[in-house]
Amino acid sequence: MFRRLHEPDGQSVSIDFEGEIINVAAGETVAAAVLAAGAEHSRTTPVTGATRLPFCMMGACFDCLMEIDGIPNRQACMVRVENGMKVRRQEGKRRLEA
Amino acid sequence: MFGAAVAYGLARDGVSTIMLDGADGSLRAARGNFGLVWVQSKGLGLQRYADWSRESAHLWEDFAADLRDSAGIDVNHQNGGGLNLLLSDEERENYRRNIDIMRQQAGADGYDCEIIERDEIQKMVPGLRVGEGVAGGSFGPHDGHVNPLKMLRALHRGFTQLSGRYFPCNEVNHISHDGGVFVAKSAGNRFTAPKIVLACGHGITKLAPMVGLNTPIRPQRGQVLVTERIEATVEMALGSIRQTDEGGFMFGNSEEETGFDDGTTLPVTRNIAARAVKAFPQLENVRLVRNWGCIRVLTPDKCAIYDESETMPGAYVATSHSGVTLGAVNARHISRWVSTGDTPPNFDQFSARRFDVPATA
Amino acid sequence: MSDTVDFLIIGGGPAGLAAATLADELGLSTLVLDEQSEPGGQIYRGIETVHPKTLSLLGEDYGQGAEIAQAFRKSGAAYKPDASVWRVDEDGMVAYSHNGKGATAKGRRLLIATGAMERPVPIPGWTLPGVMTAGGAQVLLKSAGVVPSGRVVVAGCGPLALLVTQQLVTAGVNVAALLETTRIGDYFSAARHLPKALRARNYLSKGMKMRRSIRAAGVAIHSGVEKLAAIGDNRVQSVSFQSGGSQSEIPVDSLLLHFGVAPNTQITRQVGCDHEWYEAQRYWRPIRNEWGATNCDAIAVAGDGGGIDGAVAAALTGRLAALDAAHRHGVIDSVERDRRATPIRAELGIHSAIRPLLDALFTPPRDICAPKDNETIVCRCEEVSVSDLREAITLGAMGPNQLKSFTRCGMGPCQGRMCGLTVAELIAEANGEPVENVGYYRIRPPIKPVTLGELASMSD
Ligand SMILES: Cc1cc2nc3c(=O)[nH]c(=O)nc-3n(C[C@H](O)[C@H](O)[C@H](O)COP(=O)(O)OP(=O)(O)OC[C@H]3O[C@@H](n4cnc5c(N)ncnc54)[C@H](O)[C@@H]3O)c2cc1C
Ligand code: FES
């Protein structure tokens, strides 16, 4: 659904998105990286399980919630990618860590 | 919550009823409360109130079924007992002393609440790791909880479907008694009825004297925190940490003498959060999404006041903290009292006359 | 321990940056908190890091942001990025999260410069993946050089809809259509605002030029569009609409929506500023005096957070607030303050002259403000639909707060940002009263979710 205008050049980092290693541009947000990777959805809602993707990209709508480095419900449009970051979809309500 | 429950009960009994209510921004304990049906700490100093709370808890199951029938809303009532966490030896000791006093006061009626140890607590809340800092808990078998917002909505929907008429945005500012009927005036309207019930929380202070009643109540603030939704982990009703059926955890209740200021403060919020994390360390990275202050309606002994005016019979007052707990008795007994005059046993103990200081000692 | 400064600013967009630069120059100790990682705010997002190839697509207005950001960087004002403010107290105390830790800062004077957000657009299907705000698509372009692939339709009204369409077209995106809710006739009725200023004329001709170049690039432009709906199962597959009496449906991979912007009033509401309803653009804005000061003694508002006036005006109102802060701190007297304010106000006057034109041209349509279709979701977080709200209104929920208790609308993590305006409009419509009588949600902290651990470990 989205594509990059130019491939991440010199300063690319790699993140793990749902078990797949993808190359993304340093400094961009997790939401941008996940969209550019062609994700069909980034979360399902806790109420009806509907699929969603980031909507506003500016921290207002909370539709970009994802599990980032083990921490659930983070706003992917407000978090920058870091090398080795683990990103997963937020499926419904979050769980507590053991 | 008091008014809605009584009005619902009246409509249920086929009494033609009008419910007058304030505007959107009014102080509403019913909108901010915790959702506990709570018996274990109730009635210190007034055994009749302890019994009343317990009776209501027992009636709650029927009441919930009734609401489901008339409003089609499941208020998610749970009555598996309630647990109050004690986070220090001092808290534990104080609570133990309270239990002794309550037990003495109850005498033959009995008082069912006991202190339990951490490992027993852990068994009651298998989904969450109980923190090292938990010094014990008090378990009350009659306690439970409901979803308070669903309860409020069910009362309203049920009331309307039972032909009750609801008039929001009609804050009553004057009541008079004229030829056997009461006339209640709001800014734009005038309503008449042979009987009138004041169940308007803090609004009572102004209105009660107009019908010849004295109802001493004061405000007390409770701050409440609620978190993002989490997969169900705790079913048990907990005293100040509760998981709602939607998944959010609620924490509270502070007791602050800050008048009618229903704001929030950072230090109090922080302490509530610290207690939550101390009780259940796994909650540490859980996000708080809302935080509010809610104004309790407290009588001098924290027990309910139910009164009928002596000078203007047909005017009643019904108020207390704990509108959720008392929802069932309010909808059943209080509405009956208002429509037929039948009172439950020893009902006069709820009169505000209990606060009248004798002229000479 | 919290930092105390003379002038604390929330928001590092043009308003906050300009205010900070001037305040520092006037000798006030100044700190800017912003939840983004670099200065620029929404409009100049990515201004310091934008890829040169992307920069050339964005146009000269965007390039202007670099100047403001550089001046700010050169100043001695302190800057804390990645600081997300979640609570403000009336005395100028601010609580925020930074790198997963809770912290506080206090301003003897506090400037709220948190800007605007795009108006929520409750059309059928707006929650489907593939539907995004046009502003969101622009953020993706500016900050990451990422654009929608496949067929794209932009729908709505307002200058940003045009601008984004043009930027995407320039970037080689396949924009199939621009669906404007503005009618051709609206352009004529707007024209009567023209004599007010020459700049307005430039503005309008710039807009017309943009429309022409978009059309020349092969984008179909439909005007007077109504009954927009996004259609699809697990993602948007087409957009349907009416225009000129006929019904159409266009297959799409991405639908970008934009119906103007509205002040982000979460903080000003939470702290207790008084607000007023601005009928022309149907939004709330905090009530401010000519320096941006609010009814809260220590607090001023600058930029779009006080009313939508654009980036240039935002920087100007930021400067006015800085002058007033310096005056209140006794650094300059009122004569000096007013003297320095004169040229700023003159410039502001020129910029504000185009407001009536834009307001007339880009009024958000009725069925966007108060959606008709019962199935349409109003609250994206709690998934509350128009019919849920209508039922609660009939039960007697007379205001947004009671409605929230009845339906959970506005109780999710976005704290009502996405549904607050719609809810008030729906109540107003149902009860036949003006929106300003209906009011708004009582906004409580935290205005951004904060973890219990962060909160618990905060010091006094
Ligand atoms: C922090 C907190 C936690 C709580 N937790 C629990 C709990 O766990 N369990 C429990 O049982 N109870 C709890 N409660 C108490 C419960 O919410 C209240 O007991 C209940 O809502 C009180 O009902 P009320 O009708 O007296 O007041 P409210 O629910 O506040 O209702 C008063 C109503 O009267 C209207 N009104 C006021 N003046 C006028 C006027 N002049 N004319 C017309 N209308 C008027 C107002 O608009 C309002 O709708 C809690 C309360 C607080 C503050
Ligand atoms: S996309 Fe809206 S908050 Fe992240």
Residue C379 sits in a domain whose CATH number is: 1.10.10.1100
* Residue with tokens 């209906």, as numbered in its chain: C438
Count Cα neighbours of C208 within 13 Å in the Cβ-side half-sphere: 10
How close B290 comes to chain C (CA, Å)? 6
Q: Identify which of A97, A63, A96, A95 has the alpha carbon closest to the alpha carbon of residue A77.
A: A63
Considering the domain architecture, whether residues C248 and C326 belong to the same structural domain is answered as: no
Is C339 inside any structural domain?
no
The pLDDT score that the predictor gives to residue C159 is 86
Is C362 inside any structural domain?
no
Considering the domain architecture, whether residues C255 and C131 belong to the same structural domain is answered as: yes
Q: What's the residue count for chain B?
A: 361
Cα Rg, chain A, nearest whole Å: 13
Residue A64 Cβ contacting ligand 2 at under 6 Å: yes
Q: Which residues line ligand 1 (CB under 6 A)?
A: B 1-3, 20-22, 26-30, 32-36, 38, 171-172, 199-201, 203, 207, 222, 224, 252-253, 294-297, 319, 321-325
Instruction: Give phi and psi for B276, each to the nearest 5.
Output: -60, -45
Q: Is C147 exposed, middle or buried (0-12, 13-18, 19+ CB in 10 A)?
A: buried
Considering the domain architecture, whether residues C376 and C317 belong to the same structural domain is answered as: no
Across the interface, whether the CB atoms of B287 and A73 are under 8 A apart is answered yes
What is the block-wise mean pLDDT of chain B (361 residues), using blocks of 10 residues? 94 96 74 86 93 96 96 94 96 96 91 95 94 96 94 94 93 93 94 96 94 95 94 89 92 91 94 96 94 92 96 96 94 96 95 80 43
- β-bridge partners, C246: C243
Instruction: Give phi and psi for A32, each to the nearest 5.
Output: -60, -45
β-pair type (B114-116, B144-145): unpaired
| Most distant pair of Cα atoms in chain B: their distance | 67
> How high does pLDDT run on average in chain C?
91
- β-bridge partners, C87: C95
Considering the domain architecture, whether residues C142 and C173 belong to the same structural domain is answered as: yes
Considering the domain architecture, whether residues C130 and C110 belong to the same structural domain is answered as: no
Q: Identify which of C226, C212, C221, C219 has the alpha carbon closest to the alpha carbon of residue C181.
A: C226
CA–CA distances in Å: residue C250 to residues B285, C118, C164, C222 = 45, 24, 19, 12
Model pLDDT for residues C87-102, shown as the tens digit of each residue: 999 999 999 999 889 9
* Residue with tokens 């306690």, as numbered in its chain: B143
The pLDDT score that the predictor gives to residue A7 is 82
Instruction: Please give the distance, rounded to the nearest whole angstrom, from the Cα atom of residue C294 to the centre of ligand 2.
Output: 29
Q: Which carries the bigger pLDDT value, residue C3 or residue B311? A: B311
Interface residue A65 vs chain C (CB under 8 A): yes
Across the interface, whether the CB atoms of C171 and A58 are under 8 A apart is answered no
On chain B, the residues whose CB falls within 8 A of the CB of C456 are 270, 273-274, 276-277, 284
The pLDDT score that the predictor gives to residue B361 is 43
> Which structure tokens are listed for B253?
């209740």
H/E element, B69 = helix B47-71
Q: Rounded CA gap, B122 and B297, in Å?
A: 34
Q: What is the 3-state secondary structure (H, E, C) of chain C?
A: CCEEEEEEEECCCHHHHHHHHHHHHCCCCEEEECCCCCCCCCCCCCCCCCCHHHHHHHCHHHHHHHHHHHHHHHCCCEEECCEEEEEECCCCEEEEEECCEEEEEEEEEEEECCCEEECCCCCCCCCCCCEEEHHHHHHHHHHHCEEECCEEEEEEECHHHHHHHHHHHHCCCEEEEEEECCCHHHHHHHHCCHHHCHHHHHHHHHHHHHHHHHHHCCCEEECCCEEEEEECCCCCCEEEEEECCEEEEEECCEEEEEECEEECCHHHHHHCCCEEEECCCCEEEECCCCCCECCCCCEEECHHHHCCCHHHHHHHHHHHHHHHHHHHCCCCCHHHHHHHHHHHHHHHHHHHCCHHHHHHHCCCCHHHHCCCCCCCEEECCCCEEHHHHHHHHHHCCCCHHHHHHHHCCCCCCCCCCCCHHHHHHHHHHHHCCCHHHHCCCCCCCCCCCEEHHHHHCCCC
Nearest listed ligand to the Cα of residue A76:
2
The pLDDT score that the predictor gives to residue C2 is 62
Q: What is the domain extent for residue C384?
A: 370-438
Model pLDDT for residues C414-432, shown as the tens digit of each residue: 999 999 999 999 999 999 9
Please tell me which of the candidates B230, B283, B285 has its beta carbon nearest to residue A93: B230
Q: Rounded CA gap, C124 and C228, in Å?
A: 8
Domains of chain B from N-terminus onward? 2-32+149-215+301-354 (3.50.50.60), 82-140 (no CATH), 218-298 (3.30.9.10)
The model carries a pTM of 0.89
Does C446 sit behind a cis peptide bond, omega within 30 degrees of 0 on the bond before it?
yes
- Contacting residues for C95 by C-beta, under 8 A, at least 6 apart: B266, C85, C86, C87, C88, C102, C103, C104, C445, C446, C450, C458
The pLDDT score that the predictor gives to residue C244 is 87
Q: Rounded CA gap, C450 and C102, in Å?
A: 8
Domains of chain A from N-terminus onward? 12-89 (3.10.20.740)
Q: Identify which of A54, A50, A33 has the alpha carbon closest to the alpha carbon of residue A42.
A: A54
Considering the domain architecture, whether residues C234 and C124 belong to the same structural domain is answered as: yes
Considering the domain architecture, whether residues C98 and C207 belong to the same structural domain is answered as: no
Please tell me which of the candidates A5, A55, A57 has its beta carbon nearest to residue C54: A5
**With the CA atoms of C122, C259, C144 and C415 taken in that order, what torsion angle do they form, in degrees rounded to the nearest 10?**
-50
- β-bridge partners, B182: B177, B193
Instruction: Please give the distance, rounded to the nearest whole angstrom, from the Cα atom of residue B242 to the centre of ligand 2.
Output: 29
Contacting B with CB below 8 Å, chain C residues are 87, 89, 93, 95, 104, 392, 395-402, 405-406, 408, 411-413, 415, 438-439, 442, 444-446, 449-453, 455-458, 460
Contacting C with CB below 8 Å, chain B residues are 21, 23-25, 28, 30-31, 149, 152-153, 156-157, 160, 166-169, 225, 227-228, 246, 264, 266-267, 269-270, 273-274, 276-277, 283-292
Ligand 1 atom nearest the C-alpha of B222 is: 1
Across the interface, whether the CB atoms of C395 and B24 are under 8 A apart is answered no
Please answer whether residues C419 and C120 qualify as being in contact, where contact means their C-beta atoms are separated by less than 8 angstroms. yes
In this prediction the ipTM stands at 0.96
- Three-state DSSP class for B311? coil
The pLDDT score that the predictor gives to residue C355 is 81
β-pair type (A86-91, A12-17): parallel
Q: Where are the beta strands (DSSP E) in chain B?
A: 18-20, 36-37, 82-86, 114-116, 136-140, 144-145, 165-167, 172-178, 181-186, 190-193, 196-198, 218-229, 237-238, 241-243, 248-251, 287-298, 305-308, 315-319
Query: For a substitution probing ligand 1, which of B297, B302, B334 has the most ligand atoms within 8 Å of its CB?
Result: B297
- Three-state DSSP class for A57? coil
Q: Rounded CA gap, C222 and C255, in Å?
A: 15
Instruction: Please give the distance, rounded to the nearest whole angstrom, from the Cα atom of residue C386 to the centre of ligand 1.
Output: 28
On chain A, the residues whose CB falls within 8 A of the CB of B228 are 73, 94
How close A66 comes to chain C (CA, Å)? 13
Boundary of a domain, candidates C259, C283, C314:
C259
> Which structure tokens are listed for B336?
């009956």
Chain A residue with the nearest C-alpha to that of C140: A32
Considering the domain architecture, whether residues C428 and C381 belong to the same structural domain is answered as: yes
* Residue with tokens 């000791």, as numbered in its chain: B93
Q: State the CB neighbour count (10 A cutoff) for residue A1.
A: 19
pLDDT range class, residue C39, cuts 50, 70, 90: confident
Does B253 sit behind a cis peptide bond, omega within 30 degrees of 0 on the bond before it?
yes
Q: Rounded CA gap, C238 and A41, in Å?
A: 17
Considering the domain architecture, whether residues C254 and C135 belong to the same structural domain is answered as: yes
Considering the domain architecture, whether residues C137 and C190 belong to the same structural domain is answered as: yes
Considering the domain architecture, whether residues C135 and C245 belong to the same structural domain is answered as: yes
Instruction: Give phi and psi for C94, each to the nearest 5.
Output: -130, 130
Q: Identify which of A69, A73, C80, C136 has the alpha carbon closest to the alpha carbon of residue B289.
A: A73
Is C316 inside any structural domain?
yes
Please answer whether residues B116 and B134 qualify as being in contact, where contact means their C-beta atoms are separated by less than 8 angstroms. no
Count Cα neighbours of C244 within 13 Å in the Cβ-side half-sphere: 7
H/E element, A91 = strand A86-91
Instruction: Give phi and psi for C156, each to the nearest 5.
Output: 140, -145
Residue C34 sits in a domain whose CATH number is: 3.50.50.60
Is C280 inside any structural domain?
yes
Residue A75 Cβ contacting ligand 2 at under 6 Å: yes
Read off the pLDDT of each residue in C446-452 and give the average, rounded to a whole number: 94
Q: Identify which of C86, C103, C21 has the alpha carbon closest to the alpha carbon of residue C321.
A: C21
Is C433 inside any structural domain?
yes
Number of structural domains chain C divides into:
3
Q: Identify which of C239, C174, C238, C193 has the alpha carbon closest to the alpha carbon of residue C362.
A: C193
Instruction: Please give the distance, rounded to the nearest whole angstrom, from the Cα atom of residue A58 to the centre of ligand 2.
Output: 5
**With the CA atoms of B142, B144, B148 and B152 taken in that order, what torsion angle do they form, in degrees rounded to the nearest 10?**
-40
Q: Rounded CA gap, C329 and C324, in Å?
A: 9
Q: Which amino acid is at C222?
A: H
The pLDDT score that the predictor gives to residue C38 is 86
Is C281 inside any structural domain?
yes
The pLDDT score that the predictor gives to residue C460 is 65
Considering the domain architecture, whether residues C26 and C93 belong to the same structural domain is answered as: yes
Is C205 inside any structural domain?
yes
pLDDT range class, residue C1, cuts 50, 70, 90: very low
Instruction: Compute the C-alpha angle C355/C361/C366, nearest 5°.
Output: 115
Local structure of residue A80 (DSSP, 8 states): B
On chain B, the residues whose CB falls within 8 A of the CB of C430 are none
Instruction: Compute the C-alpha angle C426/C430/C433, nearest 5°.
Output: 90
Is C457 inside any structural domain?
no
Count Cα neighbours of C152 within 13 Å in the Cβ-side half-sphere: 28
Q: State the CB neighbour count (10 A cutoff) for residue C432.
A: 6
On chain B, the residues whose CB falls within 8 A of the CB of C435 are none
Q: Rounded CA gap, B153 and B150, in Å?
A: 5
The pLDDT score that the predictor gives to residue C359 is 83
The pLDDT score that the predictor gives to residue B195 is 97
Instruction: Please give the distance, rounded to the nearest whole angstrom, from the Cα atom of residue A10 to the centre of ligand 2.
Output: 28
Q: State the CB neighbour count (10 A cutoff) for residue B78.
A: 18
